[in-house]
Amino acid sequence: MGRSTAVIGTFIALWAGLVVQGQCHTPFFIFGDSLLDAGNNQYFNSGTPKSSLPYGETFFKRPSGRSCDGRIVADFLAEYANLPLIRPYLEPGFSNYSDGANFASAGAGILPETNPRMIHLKMQLSYFEEVQKKLKQQEGEQKAQELLSKAVYLFSMGGNDYMNVGMPKFGNTMPPVVLTASYKKQYVTIVLSNLTSVVKKVYAMGGRKFIFQTVGPLGCMPVSRYMFIYILFTVMFFNAVETLGFKEGRTACCGSGNFNGQFTCGKNGTAYNLCSDPSQYVWFDAAHPTESANKHLTSLFWSGPLKVVWPYNAKALFQMP
C-alpha cells in the first residue's frame, strides 16, 4: 500500500506537542493549487473561466469550483476532523475563520512567475496574514493566537512549477526541452526555498502543525500521456489500481484526445468524452483525480501507517492540543 501511494502522492506531517486522546476543535488552513482549490478561482478577477458541469456532478450536483467530479482531499480531511467543508477565502460574504480558510488556486505555483494570473503561494500567504488580523479583531489577541497554534496547515503545491519547466505548452505535442542536471537541481532548490520561506512565516505567525502533500506523478497524468505519447506507469501501479478497486488508471474519465488528455472537459462548445462512472477511474480529467481516488488517498493520510505518512498521520495532528 505504501509503495502504491507514490502514484497519487503522500503526506509528510511535521508536528510539535504531544498526541492526546479525543477530538478538539482544530482550525484548518489550506494552501495549494488545483488539487486543493475549493472555488477561489471563481471569485478571483483574473479572467479565468467559471467551472461547469460535469465538474462537481458526483457530490455537489453542481459546479463547485473544484477540479474534480466531487470532493477533494481537503474536503475529506475536514470531514474526518469533524469540521465543515472549508470555504474558499475569496467567497463573497465569508468572514468567520474560526474553522479555517482555503487559499488554494487552480493553476498557481510556488513561484509567482509560474502563472502570474493565479493566486501564487506568496499571495496566498498575504491572504492568511489578512485572516490573522481579522481573527485578532474578532476573537482578541490571545484567542486568535490559540486558534492559529492549534490549527493544521495543509500545503500541496509545486506541480505547476515543475510542469512549466522544459515542458511544451498544453496542446503542443512537441517533445519537452532537454534540461541539464545542474539546471534541474538549481530550479528545485529555488522552488523549495520559496516554499520554505512561506512555511517559516506561517510558523512565525503561530503555526505549528504542518501537512505537506508531495508533488503527484506528473509523468503519469493523462495530459502527459497525451503530449508525449509514452508510458510511464509501472507494473506496480497497475497492480495498485486493481487492488484498490479502480478499473482505469491511464485514461481520464472526462476529456478528449488520447487518454482523454486534453483539457476539454466541461468546456461549452467543445466536444469531449465523459465516462458513465467516475468512481471506476483514478483520473477525472487530464490532471486531476476523481472523488473516489481522493477519498481513498485521504483515508491513508488520516490513519495510514508510517510507511505511508511520516512521522505521524493527519489524525494525530488534528488531535494535538
Identify whether the C-beta of residue 102 lies closer than 8 Å to the C-beta of residue 86. Answer: yes
Note the pTM of the prediction, 2 decimals. 0.86
Task: Given the residues 34, 64, 156, 256, select the one marked as catalytic.
Answer: 34
Task: Given the residues 75, 105, 288, 296, select the one marked as catalytic.
Answer: 288
Per residue in 96-120, pLDDT tens?
A: 999 999 999 999 999 999 999 999 9
pLDDT at residue 16 in the model: 33
Cell numbers for 77, please give them. 480531511
Per residue in 108-155, pLDDT tens?
A: 999 999 999 999 999 999 999 999 999 999 999 999 999 999 999 999
Per residue in 255-312, pLDDT tens?
A: 999 999 999 999 988 999 999 999 999 999 999 999 999 999 999 899 988 888 889 8
Q: DSSP string covering 220-287, please?
A: GSHHHHHHH------HHHHHHHHHTT-SBSSS-SEEBSGGG-BS-TT-TT---EE-S-GGGBSBSSSS
Task: Given the residues 99, 224, 285, 292, select the one marked as catalytic.
Answer: 285
Give catalytic status of residue 277 as yes or no. Answer: no
Give catalytic status of residue 120 as yes or no. Answer: no
Give catalytic status of residue 34 as yes or no. Answer: yes
Identify whether the C-beta of residue 284 lies closer than 8 Å to the C-beta of residue 290. Answer: yes
- 152 φ/ψ angles, rounded to the nearest 5 degrees: -105, 135
